[in-house]
A and B are shown apart, each in its own frame.
Chain A
Amino acid sequence: MVQVAFSSVGKDFGKEAVLRDVEFEVPSGCFVALIGPSGCGKSTLLRMIAGLEHIDYGEIYIGGSAVNHLAPKDRDVAMVFQNYALYPHMTVAENMLFTLRMARCTREESNNRMWEAARILGLENLLDRYPRHLSGGQRQRVAMGRAIVRNPKVFLFDEPLSNLDAKLRVQMRAEIKRLHQRLGTTMIFVTHDQVEAMTMAEQVVILRDGRIEQVGTPIELYDRPTNVFVAGFIGSPAMNLLGGTFEKVHGQHCFVPQNGVPIPIPPGTLVGSENVSPGQKCLLGIRPEHITLPGPGPVPEDDETYGEIPAEVALVEVTGLDTHIVASALNGEITILIRGRFDTVAGDKHLIRLNFPLAHVFDAETGERLD
């Protein structure tokens, strides 16, 4: 069952279109992440669901009913704000009870629901404290508690982890995910952090300049990005994009980089490249972990699905778990991600190997995927 649906939704701020023809559906109980760069309209879209922003055109449906003209309180949604928006003059308990007070719930029912939410989030000992006496993580939990007590149809999260430090962010990420598993309620989560979106969401919606670029599961977005923007946005370090054409050289299908030496592509390994007309400018996308150096990795030396190119190491970054290598190759820079350690220094020359079956081909002009 569809819980939230968008039908050609749009919004203008003055003459500027903030959102254009947004159209997607959120299944009931699904955890959806809205992701995109700053100013792409993701928070505006969330606020439109909550009823805090007017919908200029199109319709938003919650639980099958159009909510365009409903007041926020009648939409049965709960929202967790970026700065938590806790009421500073109320205690934790009063913050959580506020929404039930507005709903004219009985005192007994309100208290039961408040205690239940406090128990779920481990807030029992903080109920009589004021927000100013809480840490960032505790405030975050209170904000979630305030949302939980309502028992809404949809939870909306507006970048709730952005004010937390890295460690707490990871912790809260797991807590929100656990909460979703426990409650099973539809959740829409806005973030600009792709790691948050990839790790938490079941569906990810990528927005750019007010338009949806792709909707899919995190793995779909990672493995089959529909365009260059998605390919570059998802994945860290970002996907390498090499400009060039696909040509027949001495009867063999090759990728010809700009001003570079043709790289033969073994037949049937790079599916998208076979539909490209000769001379058509393309972008060959290859993720850093799909490039290997001699030695590490499970690739046997005689695997013919790999294309080889010479490269010179320019920079080595060791994260502890991985090694990131930036190498000069094909008149540009290529990032390589090696799982584990790799002993090399700037200036070393290697024959790097591109895993063609996992590479992507995009039209250089439109940026669209070509397969």
Chain B
Amino acid sequence: MTRVPHPVQKQALRRNRQKIPVLKSISVYGGVFLLLLLVLFPFYWMVTASIKNFREISIERTLIPREVSFQNYTDLFEQTSILWHLFNTAWISCFVTVVTVTLASMSAYVLTRFLTPAAEWIARISLYAYMVPSIVLIIPFYIGLQMAGLVNTHAGLILSYLSFTLPLGIWMMRACFQTIPKTMEEAAVVDGANRFEAFFLIAMPQALPGVISTSIFVFILCWGEYLYPVVLISSDSLRTITITLDALTGGGQNIKFGLLMAASTVATVPILLIFLALQKHLVRGFASGGYE
């Protein structure tokens, strides 16, 4: 027999049911707020510190700037070659991204379409290669590049970047190609396309979300890379932005916080804009590629 709840119990049940979503929403939004606070506060601090004067940064440590000053930016552009270093970083990052995505797409395509039995192992090896810390590879790289006459050149830096961007790119693009049905390329081949045409005209357009997310990842990695440029580059004209930031710390003795925060803001803005512009594609790429 079904037990019919008493009207009072019914009301209590209804109240409980209403309470649960409200409590859930509060806890979810509370959690998100805390997370956002953790993530965004350093950015807030960086930007506000860049427009504060020395006193506000180092002595008073105000949360909200009392006086807005762009002196740090003026000093930054006058005292350092940050724009030039930014340009170096941008072109190297773009170049490495293009090379990585091109080579990784082709390699990943071959891995998913032709070398099926060995593909899993090759893909794993590429991932393990990515997991090897740069600090372990830096000395062999330095020796190798010195022998090739590529130390203190952008070419040497690009080669060193490719050593970690390519394995990551192959892994990501492989996940992307695995989601694209082979039958479409087979249809293209029957329709008269050769393998290259099937790859470029059919597979690649469908792999676009994967290409975009891989590009963003690779670009960010190159933009923020510190160890290779600091070891391989010695000329000021060849420096990248991370070395500029390092230089502004003054070796930890005489940190110019205002300049450092202004430089950090300048270094962050391009990458933030790119990320915001392509955010939708990045999420789509993650969703389609199964990168977890």
Segment of A72-80, A183-191, A213-221 in the binding face: A72-80
Known: A79-B187, A146-B187. 5 other contacts (CB 8 A): A50-B186, A78-B190, A79-B186, A86-B184, A102-B192
* Inter-chain contact B192/A73, CB cutoff 8 Å: yes
Residue from B183, B191, B205 in contact with A99 in the complex, judged by beta carbons closer than 8 Å: B191
Residues of A close to B178: CB separation below 8 A = none
Size of the A side of the interface (Cβ < 8 Å), in residues, is: 23
User: Which B149-207 residues have C-beta < 8 A from chain A?
Assistant: 181, 183-184, 186-194, 197, 201-202, 205-206
Q: Is the CB of B181 within 8 A of A83?
A: yes
CB B89 to nearest CB in A, in angstroms, measures 33
Determine the chain B residues whose CB is within 8 A of the CB of A99 once the complex forms.
191-192
Q: When A81-B183, A83-B183, A85-B181 are in contact, do A98 and B206 touch as well, CB less than 8 Å?
A: no
Cα distance, A316 to B262, chains bound together (Å)? 86
Contacting residue for A77 out of B183, B186, B190, B197, CB 8 A: B190
The residue from A51, A88, A89, A98 contacting B188, defined by CB atoms under 8 A apart = A98
Q: A87-B184, A87-B188 are in contact. Are A73 and B202 (CB under 8 A)?
A: no
Q: In the complex, are the beta carbons of A85 and B192 less than 8 A apart?
A: no
Q: Report Cα–Cα, A88/B187, bound state, in Å.
A: 12
List residues of chain B with CB within 8 A of the CB of A73: 189-194
Provide the main secondary structure of the chain A interface. Answer: loop
A11 at the binding interface (Cβ < 8 Å)? no
> Which chain B residues border A168 with CB–CB below 8 Å?
none
**Contact A85–B184 (Cβ < 8 Å):** yes
Distance to closest chain A CB from B284 (angstroms): 14
A311–B150 CA distance with the chains assembled, in angstroms: 94
Taking the closest CB of chain A, its distance from the CB of B193, in whole angstroms, is 5
CB of B44, distance to nearest CB on chain A (Å): 41
Evaluate contact between A81 and B191: CB separation under 8 angstroms.
no
Considering only residues 120-162 of chain B, those with a C-beta below 8 Å from chain A are: none
Distance in angstroms between the alpha carbons of A99 and B201 in the assembled complex: 12
What 3 A-B pairs come out closest when comparing CB atoms?
A102-B192, A99-B191, A85-B187
**B-binding residues in A (CB < 8 A):** 50-52, 71-73, 77-79, 81-83, 85-89, 98-99, 102-103, 146, 150
Enumerate chain A residues within 8 angstroms of B201, measured Cβ to Cβ: 98
Nearest Cβ on chain A to B15's Cβ, whole angstroms: 45
Q: Name the CB-closest residue of A to B191.
A: A99
How far does the alpha carbon of A85 sit from the alpha carbon of B206 in the complex, in Å?
13
**Size class of the contact patch on chain B:** 10 to 19
Contact with A along B10-41 (1 / 0, CB 8 A): 00000000000000000000000000000000
Which chain A positions have C-beta within 8 A of B194?
71, 73
Distance, CA A88 to CA B207, complexed state (A): 11
Distance (whole angstroms) from the CB of B32 to the closest CB of chain A: 32
Q: How far is the CA of A89 from the CA of B205 in the complex (A)?
A: 7
Would A50 and B206 count as touching, CB distance under 8 A? Answer: no
Collect the chain A residues with CB atoms within 8 Å of residue B189's CB.
51-52, 71-73
Nearest opposing residue in chain A for B186, CB measure = A52
Is B187 in contact with A102, judged by CB distance below 8 angstroms? no
Whole-angstrom CA separation of A71 from B190 in the bound complex? 9
A131 vs B188: C-alpha distance in the bound complex, in angstroms? Answer: 16
When C-beta atoms are compared, the residue in chain A nearest to B184 turns out to be A85
B190 touches A72 (CB 8 A): yes
Residues of A within 8 A of B190 (CB): 50-52, 72-73, 77-79
**In the complex, are the beta carbons of A150 and B205 less than 8 A apart?**
no
Instruction: Known A52-B186, A81-B183; judge A87-B202 contact (CB<8 A).
Output: yes
Residue of A nearest to B187 (CB): A85
Determine if A150 and B191 form an interchain contact, defined as CB atoms under 8 angstroms apart. yes
Residue contact B197 to A81, C-beta cutoff 8 Å:
no
**A50 contacts which chain B residues (CB < 8 A)?**
186, 190
Distance of B180 from chain A, by nearest CB (Å): 10
Q: Is the CB of A102 within 8 A of B206?
A: no
Q: List residues 206-228 of chain B with CB under 8 A from any CB of chain A.
A: 206
The distance in angstroms between the C-alpha atoms of A268 and B159, with both chains bound, is 89
Complex: how many Å from CA A78 to CA B201?
19
Q: Which residues of B contact A52 (CB under 8 A)?
A: 186, 189-190
**Interchain nearest-CB distance for A163 vs B (Å):** 12
> Closest B-chain residue to A52, C-beta based?
B186
B204 to chain A, nearest CB (A): 10
- Bound Cα distance from A48 to B277, whole angstroms: 46
B181, A98: Cβ atoms under 8 Å? no
Residues of A within 8 A of B197 (CB): 102
**Complex Cα gap A25–B5 (Å):** 75
- B202 partner residues in chain A, CB cutoff 8 A: 87
CB proximity of A54 to chain B, nearest CB, Å: 13
The docked-state distance in angstroms from the alpha carbon of A88 to that of B194 is 19
B194 to chain A, nearest CB (A): 7
Q: Which residues of B contact A81 (CB under 8 A)?
A: 183, 186-187
Given contact pairs A102-B191, A102-B197, A103-B192, A85 touches B186 in the complex (Cβ within 8 A): yes
Give complex CA distance A99, B202 in Å.
Answer: 12
Q: A31: shortest Cβ distance to chain B, in Å?
A: 19
Docked CA distance A72–B193 (Å): 9
Q: How far is the CA of A83 from the CA of B197 in the complex (A)?
A: 21
CB closest residue in chain B, given A73: B192
Q: How far is the CA of A87 from the CA of B189 in the complex (A)?
A: 12
- Chain B minimum-CB-distance residue to A158: B183
Q: How far is the CA of A83 from the CA of B182 in the complex (A)?
A: 11
Docked complex Cα distance between A85 and B197 (Å): 16
Residues of the B chain whose Cβ atoms lie less than 8 Å from the Cβ of A72:
189-190
Question: Would you give the 0/1 interface string for B69-110, flagging 1 where the beta carbon is closer than 8 Å to chain A?
Answer: 000000000000000000000000000000000000000000
Kindly list chain B residues whose C-beta atoms are within 8 Å of the C-beta of A86: 184
